[in-house]
Structure 1
Amino acid sequence: MSEAPAPAAPVAKKVPTPREHHGETFVDPYEWLRDRENPDVVAHLKAENVYTEAVTEHQQPLRDAIFEEIRRRTQETDLSVPARKDGWWYYSRTVEGQQYPIYCRVKAAEPAEGAHDGGDALGAWTPPAVVPGTPVPGEEILLDGNAEAEGHPFFALGGAAVTRDGSLYAYSVDTAGNETFTLRVKDLRTGELLPEVIEGVFYGLEFDPDGSRLFYMVADDSWRPYQVRVHVLGTPVEQDTVLYQEDDVAQWTGIDLSSDRRWLLVGIGNSEYSETRMLDLTEPGAALQLVLGREARILHSVEPFVHAGRTRLLVTHNGRQGGESTAANSTAPDGAAPNNMVSLVDLAEHAKPLAEQEWTTLIAHDDAVKVEGADVTATHLVVSLRRDTITTVRFAPLADAVAAADGGHAPSFVEPEFGEELYTAGAGVSDFTAPVARMSYTSYFTPPRVYDYVLATGELLLRKETPVRGGYDPADYVAERAWATADDGTRVPLSVLRRASVRQDGTNPALVYGYGSYEVSMDPGFAIPRLSLLDRGIVFVLAHVRGGGELGRKWYEDGKKLHKRNTFTDFVAATDWVASSGWADPGRIACMGGSAGGLLIGAVLNLAPEKYAAAVAQVPFVDALTTILDPALPLSALEWEEWGNPIEDAEVYAYMKSYSPYENVHRAPYPKIAAVTSFNDTRVLYVEPAKWVQALREASTSGQPIVLKTEMDAGHGGASGRYEAWKDRAWDYAFIADALGASDLLP
């Protein structure tokens, strides 16, 4: 009996739409697909889903197998390590069979007073012993994500905040997948919701110390957060006031609290420079105060604190060379400290012109170490840094660090050691007065660990390692660092992951994964789904290409704007290394990336389609030029600092047009391609991959299937429930494994 013929791929009608810029006209035949209200558009996307399902139907058993492997390895009934704040232990837990976390708390057994008085006080910061699946005495449920999601196709928590006295809980939820949230306030004393409901809020919400006011963010029509609003509890929402509004369409606004929760910090900026304003929440009637303006063109973050009776600012910034005692030389065009330095400055200094302010260097600039951020507790300085692609943390007593800096000396830091080459370590301050800092640690094959770092002694107390079921043994896997060489001689770091039993004999399938934008780094981290690929003999290679932040600020700057092509050619060089390394069969290499990493995949497929057997582009930004040319589209104006402004600059327009994936599709043997998108995505609109797939099918000479899968109820991150997310990952991985002939588990 002969096989049924392959179904015909949907063909969208062509409606020529001209786009004119800088004397050049581009005629786009598929721009009409942007109209999401058009029934023909919805019908086309549904037809694409039907076609995709038909073409990939044979992969369903493999999807089911990978999903079951993920589920079998995951501790489905589990909970996070409780974190102490204001006399309560806060945590979340999951229950087998339920999609979403349940957010909870229990009363702390001991008061937080005496936090720095020694061992007895440390006992007050030992998390309660709670067992997954066992009822916790005195547990209060703040929010049950499963109850909130009931009756909705999507659920995501945008943010949450608790008043200092623990009586009120504010939270925001998205039930559509468009990252626009509804804010509510719950009275934890009664379990009742307050009458106020605030629609259309963005990420970010904070209470003031006495709980009388709630600060929240609102985005404009282009999905740019631009307003900080204030809601007074008990008053009509219509009376909410605007604390700050940012009218520059190329600036993003956000809010945060200082570690001691005395100040509300309003940050405005983009990827190249920023501005900070502060509001003293302890002073009735205080006004928002400008601390460091955008005219300085300094990319920075600010952490205010009170030490020895002085209010000082810890400023992490790229503005000056180490050792400068004033800000007079702080405005070098490219930043005089591209990897950042940390300075101390009295709050009162900001009343002076920038060039007259007295700044003290706490941490000098280092070409080999990127300072990612600095924070304070009541007693210690906490510095996050990146060295040789790896993130870690250093600690120093705050008094000693300040005294050293004021005396013109470099402070002495302590850095915990973990014994692995490739890992990710971070630290957070859950409570300003705590004698411990909560640390996270993971590596490619070490499941996430939570430590409490004892600030006074440097002791690391392991609180939890995420359990992995199913007989997982990290010794079965290997993670190694390798280096590819780009066309211009630049060495590109690679992370090469594989089963220990895989041999370097040139026969294995391989997957190359990349991102390479916005200074985002692909740091080592454990991932249960990835094990399903490794267990099928696939060598998984992460290409840390330029445009990311793995090797400091210059690594990022060498992969943005008019240097963006380096991102793509680095990835091709990484692929060439894989093909020649002996770890892979050159004919069995696939590639994958998402969002801006989807742009990377689209550009690479235009450059070297013959190097890949398959590709998965997740929510791919493949029509970048069209999007950025329209400031009314979501986030477009904000993108100018990443890609350049093609509206004003003809050189940027021509450069972007030379690599934008959709506009550079040409007759070539494109491999099997799956473009995965979401109808409600507000970051990368579904229309981009929809257009791209049409162009690819028309141009490809290979005859390989090119499919579009659209989640009709999801957002940028895909489906919201954990089981649905596992199914999405299983779909992507099954597509790759099938294309590479690697469906079966290794013996």
Structure 2
Amino acid sequence: MKPLMTFFVCSSLSLSFAAVSAQDVLQPPVAEQRPHTVSSPHGDRIDPYYWLRDDTRSSAEVIDYLEQENAYYQSYKSSYSALVEELTEEIIGRIQQDDSSVPYTMGDYSYSTRYETGKEYPIYVRTPLAGGDEEIMLDVNELAEGKDYFQVANWRVSPDQQKLAYMEDTTGRRQYTLRVKDLSTGELLADTLSGLSASIAWSADSQHLFVVENDPVTLLSTKVFRHQLGQDAEQRALVYEEQDNSFFMGVGNTRDQRYVVIGVSSTVSNEYWVLDATTPQGELQLIAPRQRDFKYSADHIDGRWVINTDWEAPNYRLMVVEHEKLGDRNHWQELVAHDEQVFIQSFIAFKDHLAINERSDGLRRIRLLSWEDPKQSHYLASDEPSFVMGFSVNPEQDSEWLRYSYTSLTTPNSIYEVHLGTGERRLLKEDEVLGGFDKNDYVTARVWVPAADGVKIPVSLLYRKDFKRDGTAPLYQFAYGSYGISMDPFFRSAVLSLVDRGVVYAIAHIRGGQEMGRHWYEDGKLLNKTNTFDDYIAVTDYLVTEKYAAADKVVGMGGSAGGLLMGAVANQAPEKYRGLIAHVPFVDVVTTMLDESLPLTTNEYDEWGNPNEKAYYDYMLSYSPYDQVSKQAYPAMLITTGFHDSQVQYFEPAKWIAKLRTHTTSKQPLLMRTNMEAGHGGRSGRFARMAEIAEEYAFVLQLVTEPKAE
């Protein structure tokens, strides 16, 4: 197929930007200071920009201020608008627009997802295995028509295969509405419930749905309801209510569809309740009671439960228990022992085999073993130094084949299946990348960076094959470092637009994630949180010292809790960065964590600490980006937020940029873009998201090619 366009094939930076005079660019808005006292048991603080918080999202003056910020951003962006357009076309041009996922079998149908040329949203389809025409279950493009934002967050087919339950969001605030479609007629049923989380479970008779309702103020998931099809929403039955606001909930079915499962989780503890799906009005049964610093997950197969747990095993171990012995973990029997060098991420139980997705040396691998001899196991192989293996869709326990995904920074996502008995492996699909992409033009590498305390930090790198390590290249350094979430080296076709222009792309696997096991997370949270920031800066220093990058061409990026990372780095080492990009940044740490009325605050105490306790208050205050803004020369910054964000409220970044402007001593641009129609995840639609990435990358490229204003 002929590529849509020709992309850069050399590593030199040779870009030009439209000349825009100073008078053509708007001046940045200046927010009025209105002192507000934020009280706590450990002292009061004055917040001059607290007035930017509007929980109703209806204040004309707040909206006007955000629109002024947007206008300033658009004005600044006009100086490189041609590059934005070029990058947008280039990034979208790599996408195979008429694309389909690998079909998988579930029940009497083959299911897949496809995209059509020019359309933003997926189409979910199925085809009868016995023969017949394809059925369109959901065309999200049709559902999204006329809406500024639309997302189908989850869908589940009923056990009788005749109904589809799905969750839709029209604001980006992640407060979902349940819809049910009759697949035999194509009609929507009258059944709707709102204010829900995204999870769904079915009863075995296909007449009852289990959903989780969110608190309308805090948005915490608090209640599980059973809804019988055909009844009014008010007749839904309460199945479970959580009293501890540090926990959140989800519902689902076991992989064999035998049970409805209610999961109740906090950062350090969880518990699972199960219900026989054939008796939807029956009694819940507890797998094991919650206990602080005890976590587990479970799935059912052939009358027993397989459990992944950190009980006396920080990196987790696998155990089994007969269904009749649920309720007491002392009945659990060890299946796969704890290993200090291997973190067990997840598992899939098949009739004759068990597949384990685990981390060792910072990489995700897959290990296979048989039930006949679980002590004998083997790994699926890879030829690359840095890669990611993960489970694909495997809905049926009786299958002899495991579907899994493989990717790296140079290898597009690929779906394989391996025969669990013979080891035969088949490539089912490798994502096609248009625009002349050749994986042999790129190199992926892994380096180990010594942190300040001597700990070695793994870093994944991507650069062109003709890259010269001479200390002149720009660097785009990404990290997250919170919640035990690992930033794996997945293939990202969009980032090629930076790499093809000579930029080195780095993923810093800093503490706070879980790349190196559970201790990696423990060493980057609570009173160890500043390790995350120190690690990130150490990676920057190393890559500059080792001549992977020029000292004056380093741009950092992080989002959400990674935005907090960017804020802390900006305060701690602003001179090391040409620019920082903070997406939906969590930057007003202390004020937010003191306010239990804000969504999702209380169940974050075990991640950040409870500021009502002085030790945590003082520690959090010492790094909170908003509180620690000071008179110094800040680098150029691009900050993004969503007006309807329920996870990091828009007013955190809005207050932060207002304060930065009054304190910075440099002339570097401080920009904020608020998406007025979206939430934490940004705009909906695949092309809309690519356009936002193009804006970010254009900002990066103009920074590293234009002279720095002092």
Shorter chain as denominator, the TM-score bin is over 0.9
Contact 2:270 2:294 in 1 (8 A): yes
Match of 1:579 among 537, 544, 568: 544
- Please state if 1:510 is matched with 2:475: yes
Partner of 2:14: none
Residue type matched to 1:152 in 2?
K
Contact 1:83 1:89 in 2 (8 A): yes
Q: 1:158 to 1:2 in 2, by over 3 A?
A: closer
Offset at 1:398? 2.7
Match of 1:161 among 133, 156, 160: 156
Indicate the SS of the match to 1:414: strand
Partner of 1:131: none
Partner of 2:669: 705
In 2, the alpha carbon distance for the partners of 1:40 and 1:456 equals 66
- Please state if 1:340 is matched with 2:316: yes
Residue type matched to 1:16 in 2?
P
Offset at 1:742? 8.0
Match of 1:723 among 671, 678, 687: 687
Indicate the SS of the match to 1:248: coil
In 1, the alpha carbon distance for the partners of 2:319 and 2:428 equals 33
In 1, the alpha carbon distance for the partners of 2:213 and 2:372 equals 39
Partner of 1:271: 267
Match of 2:332 among 359, 362, 366: 359
Residue type matched to 1:161 in 2?
R
Question: Which runs of no fewer than 5 residues in structure 2 stay unpaired?
Answer: 1-18
In 1, the alpha carbon distance for the partners of 2:691 and 2:210 equals 37
Partner of 1:468: 433
In 2, the alpha carbon distance for the partners of 1:351 and 1:654 equals 40
Indicate the SS of the match to 1:277: strand
Partner of 1:613: 578
Offset at 1:303? 1.5
Match of 2:633 among 654, 662, 669: 669
Deviations 1:206-259 (A, max 9, x none): 212220111111111211112111111122221111111111110011112111
Partner of 1:317: 309
In 2, the alpha carbon distance for the partners of 1:62 and 1:392 equals 39
- Please state if 1:260 is matched with 2:244: no
In 2, the alpha carbon distance for the partners of 1:481 and 1:454 equals 31
Contact 1:394 1:415 in 2 (8 A): yes
Structure 2 length normalisation: TM-score? 0.94
Offset at 1:644? 0.8
In 2, the alpha carbon distance for the partners of 1:23 and 1:650 equals 6
Offset at 1:572? 0.6
Offset at 1:295? 2.8
Contact 1:89 1:106 in 2 (8 A): yes
Deviations 1:268-312 (A, max 9, x none): 121211111111113464311111111364111112222xxxx32
Partner of 2:176: 181
Partner of 1:329: none
Partner of 2:325: 349
Match of 2:291 among 287, 291, 295: 295
Would you say how many aligned residue pairs link Structure 1 and Structure 2? Answer: 684
Q: 1:738 to 1:296 in 2, by over 3 A?
A: closer
Q: Percent identity?
A: 39
Runs of 4+ with deviation above 6 angstroms? none
Partner of 2:517: 552
In 2, the alpha carbon distance for the partners of 1:164 and 1:434 equals 18
Residue type matched to 2:59 in 1?
N
Partner of 1:228: 224
Q: 1:422 to 1:229 in 2, by over 3 A?
A: same
Indicate the SS of the match to 2:307: strand
Indicate the SS of the match to 1:575: helix
Offset at 1:722? 0.8
Offset at 1:542? 1.0
Indicate the SS of the match to 1:384: strand
In 2, the alpha carbon distance for the partners of 1:366 and 1:464 equals 34
Deviations 1:582-602 (A, max 9, x none): 121101111110000000000
Partner of 1:600: 565
Offset at 1:349? 2.7
Residue type matched to 2:108 in 1?
G
Offset at 1:2? 9.5
Indicate the SS of the match to 2:39: strand
- Please state if 1:46 is matched with 2:67: yes
Indicate the SS of the match to 2:507: strand
Deviations 1:610-653 (A, max 9, x none): 00011110011111211111111010001101011112x10100
Moved more, 593-602 or 279-288: 279-288
Indicate the SS of the match to 1:458: coil
In 1, the alpha carbon distance for the partners of 2:466 and 2:516 equals 31
Partner of 2:241: 245
Offset at 1:24? 1.8
Residue type matched to 2:356 in 1?
V
Partner of 1:116: none
Partner of 1:414: 378
Indicate the SS of the match to 2:377: coil
- Please state if 1:492 is matched with 2:457: yes
Partner of 2:9: none
Partner of 2:366: 393
In 2, the alpha carbon distance for the partners of 1:318 and 1:3 equals 60
Partner of 1:3: 21
Moved more, 227-236 or 364-373: 227-236
- Please state if 1:477 is matched with 2:495: no
Indicate the SS of the match to 2:418: strand
In 2, the alpha carbon distance for the partners of 1:583 and 1:491 equals 18
Deviations 1:419-454 (A, max 9, x none): 222111112422222221211111111111111222
Contact 1:536 1:742 in 2 (8 A): no
Deviations 1:516-535 (A, max 9, x none): 00001011111111000001
Contact 1:318 1:340 in 2 (8 A): yes
In 1, the alpha carbon distance for the partners of 2:203 and 2:462 equals 46
Q: 1:195 to 1:22 in 2, by over 3 A?
A: closer
Partner of 2:696: 732
Offset at 1:23? 3.5
Partner of 1:95: 116
In 2, the alpha carbon distance for the partners of 1:305 and 1:145 equals 34
Residue type matched to 2:40 in 1?
H
In 2, the alpha carbon distance for the partners of 1:347 and 1:141 equals 38
Partner of 2:15: none
Partner of 2:4: none
- Please state if 1:61 is matched with 2:82: yes
- Please state if 1:80 is matched with 2:101: yes
In 1, the alpha carbon distance for the partners of 2:227 and 2:307 equals 30
Offset at 1:26? 0.7
Q: 1:95 to 1:341 in 2, by over 3 A?
A: same
Which one has more relative contact order, counting CA pairs under 8 Å at least 6 apart? 2
Partner of 1:374: 347
Contact 2:285 2:327 in 1 (8 A): no
Residue type matched to 2:412 in 1?
P
Partner of 2:417: 452
Offset at 1:81? 0.6
Indicate the SS of the match to 2:300: strand
Match of 2:210 among 215, 225, 235: 215
- Please state if 1:107 is matched with 2:107: no
In 2, the alpha carbon distance for the partners of 1:105 and 1:721 equals 22
Match of 1:15 among 29, 34, 50: 34
Residue type matched to 2:690 in 1?
W
Contact 1:259 1:377 in 2 (8 A): no
Question: Which runs of no fewer than 5 residues in structure 1 stay unpaired?
Answer: 111-136, 321-336, 402-410
In 1, the alpha carbon distance for the partners of 2:450 and 2:77 equals 36
Partner of 1:383: 356
Indicate the SS of the match to 2:444: strand
Partner of 1:130: none
- Please state if 1:685 is matched with 2:649: yes
Moved more, 32-41 or 143-152: 32-41
